[in-house]
Amino acid sequence: MAKFKKDGKKETPAISTASLPDIVFMLLFFFMVATTMREVSLMVSNAMPQATQTVKLEKKSLVSNIYIGKPTDAYQGAYGTEPRIQLNDRFATLQELGAFIAAEREARKEEDRNSITNNLKVDRNVTMGIVTDIKQELRKANSLRVNYGSVKKAK
């Protein structure tokens, strides 16, 4: 009679983890490429208003950010609660805006200088006075492309 021979105990081989580093590295590279580090630390409150018709800002390198809002708690002692302008890492006055625009232009390649978009990141509780002043300064500096930063609202 034929006998089906059974091997007593057959252990399942351990799953090889040799490719685990490769998989993790792949993920790592994805995040490294997709990451944009926040280049400035916010000193003003920045809850942006909502809008339905927002468009994405393309070409990050051609965007210069202007933050407007109430200073955060840490800075209220020194700067008060009136809305202020933040450029890069410090508070700025309206008069400094022209120099900022010039510096932003200087930092770009010559052929890109006229396509810089000013991204106005304005807190929703700010009143229009300061925003209009800034728009006026931008017009004087002949930097006319403006994006009113807002968050996409679900319809």
Interface positions with another protein (CB under 8 A): 17, 20-21, 24-25, 27-28, 31-32, 34-38, 48-57, 60, 63, 82, 117, 119-120, 122-132, 135-136, 138-140, 142, 144-152
In this structure, what DSSP letter does residue 12 have?
Answer: P
Distance CA 74, CA 138 (A): 29
Shortest Cβ 8–another protein spacing (Å): 31
Shortest Cβ 55–another protein spacing (Å): 6
For the four alpha carbons of 12, 17, 23 and 27, in that order, the dihedral sign comes to positive
Shortest Cβ 5–another protein spacing (Å): 37
Nearer to another protein, 3 or 60 (CB): 60
Length of the chain: 155
Nearer to another protein, 59 or 90 (CB): 59
- Structural tokens at position 97: 């805006």
Distance CA 88, CA 53 (A): 28
Beta bridge partners of 152: 51
Distance CA 60, CA 77 (A): 34
Nearer to another protein, 99 or 151 (CB): 151
Shortest Cβ 128–another protein spacing (Å): 4
